[in-house]
Structures are given as structure tokens and as C-alpha cells.
Homo-oligomer: A and B are copies of this chain.
Amino acid sequence: MTPETSIAPGGTLGILGGGQLGRMLALAAASYGLKTHIYAPDPESPAFDVAARHSCKPYDDEAALIRFAQSVDVVTYEFENVPRRTAEIIAAHAPLRPNAAALATTQDRFTEKSFVAGLGIPTAPFAGVGSEADLQHALREIGRPAVLKTRRFGYDGKGQVMIHPATDVADAWRTLRGAPCILEGFVPFEREVSVVAARGVDGSFAAYDLCANTHRHHILATTVVPAGVDDATERKALAIARRIAEALDYVGVLAVEMFLLRRGDGEELIVNEIAPRVHNSGHWTIEGAETSQFAQHVRAVCGWPLGSTKRRGRAEMRNLIGHEVDSWAELLQEPGAHLHLYGKARAQPGRKMGHVTRISPEHAHPGEPV
């Protein structure tokens, strides 16, 4: 650690964004004796409730952003859609970690896919689409089924439409209202996996074991670790994440979502998406690993050494979406169920309200009492 790049306990971590990720980051920072200052426009941001200070201001309020940056020792973010101008203003007044390039690369699906493909890492076939004519052309190249997605601001399945053989192309194009898009070939994947990993200021790298994810209605439902893939596949996945982190000169925790394809006897990986932040598929690390992804991100952005990513057993994380959170009282009665609630006021459909993690011994057989 060098004094120019590292923050001492007692210092203040600034966080852009006040959702559950910012909240869990703030809790981890507090355990290390740091103060946090949350910047978010929503007055009901759940992270405000656990921070020493908050600024409830829009992301384009230049004066507020400068005051915020000057009040903290380092700034990080909990979401990738931080506007470019916001990141520039912050970076001019405080260290921004991860850097603005990581944001710019990952908040545009076309830029992101081009970056990944440029590293020689497999992706689904893709093409940029700016008009209905582009879309027609791209569909001839890529074939159907394919997925048309807005280049920016998509998450949890928002801003995308599936194009089947029978889909009317003009209709599909109109659905996304003329926003700049990317067309991605549909890949018949067997499973979705993700690597959650961290890179330090000194270039050190530490990945958690590969996560196997399931989704419902395009929202992460469960994560299970270990993922149960071939050792060679797991090593390859971790190497891909490291290559991406290094190419971005990344500092902090990132997640790389991948599709696992089965080709004959072998497993193949293609990269679907990069999240330049702590990630829902890493929530199991709170109880399931020596260092949680939130503590790890704090260590990285403070310029501290990365912690151990060693697992403490087999982990299963389940999201509590919308009214699933109403089961909190039963979950509290289940020994070994670790309940986390995010302090959100209303349980709207599709809203992530909390999660529950269960850890079982490494060598337990299915059905064995633990």
C-alpha cells in the first residue's frame, strides 16, 4: 500500500447510487471503520439509512457532485449507468474506482461486446443496429432467433425483444422506439454462470469460485456455488474475467456473466455481459466466503490488499422478489437460512427486496441433514 493510493480507516468512501448494493457496500465499509457518503437522487434510497452522510441530488447537479467528491477520499458506484459527464466531474475531484473507462465500456452493450470480442474472447454473434434497415440486414447475417436490445440502460430484461422466425421486424424495431440497439444471435446455452472477482490498485487479482445462476422473468432467481462445471472450464472462466479486468485497468469487484454451451462432450463459454460493480450473483459471499464481495470491493477501492476468496462450504443464494419477501418470518425460523432484507418501503412486483443464503458442508450428499 502506498499513501498516495490508499485510504486509511476513518476516511470516507463515496458511493454513487443508493440501492441495496450501495447499502451492503456501506455496511461492509463501516465494519472497516470507514464513513460513507451516498449520492443518489431517490429520497427513499435504502443506503441512506446506513451512511454517515448522504446527498439526495440528481446526477447532473454539477455543484452537488463537486461538493460530494470533495467530501470523500475515494468514489465508487453501485450501478453501471452512471452518466459519462457525472463520472468526469467526479474523477476531476476525487479518485474514481473503478475508472470511468470501465463505465463507458460496460454501459453500452455494443461497446462492451466489441471490447470483449476485441480481446479474442468468444461472444454471441452481434451487430450494431441504428435503423429498421440495419435490423433487416443484421438478421440476414445473424439469423433467427435473435435478441434485439437497446445499447444502453437495459437491466433485468428491460429494453429487449426476442425476434423469432414469425416476428414482424418492423414491429420489433418500433417496440424499442428507435433507440440505438444491438442485435445478438440467440445462443442455445445449457447454463448461465458468472465470475465475481476483484482487482486491486496494485494489479493483484482474486476471483471467487464460479457461480451457476438461474433466472426467472429475466431476473436472477438463484445462485449456486460450486457451479459443477469441468475444472478446465472453471479455470477458463476465471482467466477470462482476469483478462477483462486487466484490459480495463480495473479496480474493485466486477462480475462477468457467461453462457455455458455444450458442444459434443466439451463445455464452451461465451461472455454475455460485464457488470463493473458488486453483483447479485456474489451475495452468497457474505456468509459463504472468507471475505464478502462487499468487503472485497471496499478493500480494492481503498487501495488495500485483497482478502481471501476461499469458500466456507456449498452456497445457495435465493433472491426474494416482490412479495416473496413476505416469507421473512418463516425464513427466520429456519436454522441455517441467512436472511438479508434491504429496507425498501414497498414490495413491488419484480423488485429485489432481499435474499436468503444457505451454506452446507462441502462434501454433503444431497438430502443429508447438515
Contacts and interface: CB of A to CB of B under 8 A. Distances in A.
Interface stretch (A46-54, A84-92, A117-125): A46-54
A33 B290 contact: no
Contact of A341 (B31, B312, B354): B31
Contact of A299 (B48, B307, B332): B332
- Copy number of this protein in the oligomer? 2
A305 B290 contact: no
A350 to B, nearest CB: 18
Contacts of A48: 52
A10 B305 contact: no
A31 B355 CA distance: 10
A328 interface: yes
A229 to B, nearest CB: 26
Interface string A305-344: 1011010100000000000010011001101100111111
B290 A354 contact: no
Interface in A84-132: none
A327 to B, nearest CB: 11
A341 B33 contact: yes
A297 interface: no
A336 B307 CA distance: 8
A282 to B, nearest CB: 16
Interface in A244-290: 290
Contact of A34 (B52, B343, B354): B343
A30 B1 contact: no
A27 interface: yes
A200 to B, nearest CB: 11
A345 interface: yes
Contacts of A9: 325, 328, 341, 343
Given A1-B329, A343-B10, A290 B27 contact: no
Contact of A343 (B33, B328, B345, B354): B33
Contact of A332 (B34, B304, B339): B304
A242 interface: no
A352 interface: no
Nearest to A49: B52
A342 B36 CA distance: 13
Interface in A20-70: 23, 26-27, 30-36, 48-52
Contacts of A51: 49-50
B336 A308 contact: yes
Given A1-B329, A49-B51, 17 more contacts: A9-B343, A27-B30, A30-B49, A31-B341, A32-B340, A33-B341, A33-B342, A33-B343, A33-B354, A49-B52, A50-B50, A290-B336, A299-B332, A304-B332, A305-B333, A307-B335, A312-B312
30 contacts: A9-B325, A9-B328, A9-B343, A10-B345, A23-B30, A26-B50, A27-B27, A27-B30, A27-B31, A27-B50, A30-B49, A30-B50, A30-B343, A31-B340, A32-B341, A33-B328, A33-B341, A33-B342, A33-B343, A33-B344, A33-B354, A34-B343, A35-B343, A36-B49, A48-B52, A290-B336, A299-B332, A304-B329, A308-B335, A310-B335
Interface of A: 1, 9-10, 23, 26-27, 30-36, 48-52, 290, 299, 304-305, 307-308, 310, 312, 325, 328-329, 332-333, 335-336, 339-345, 354
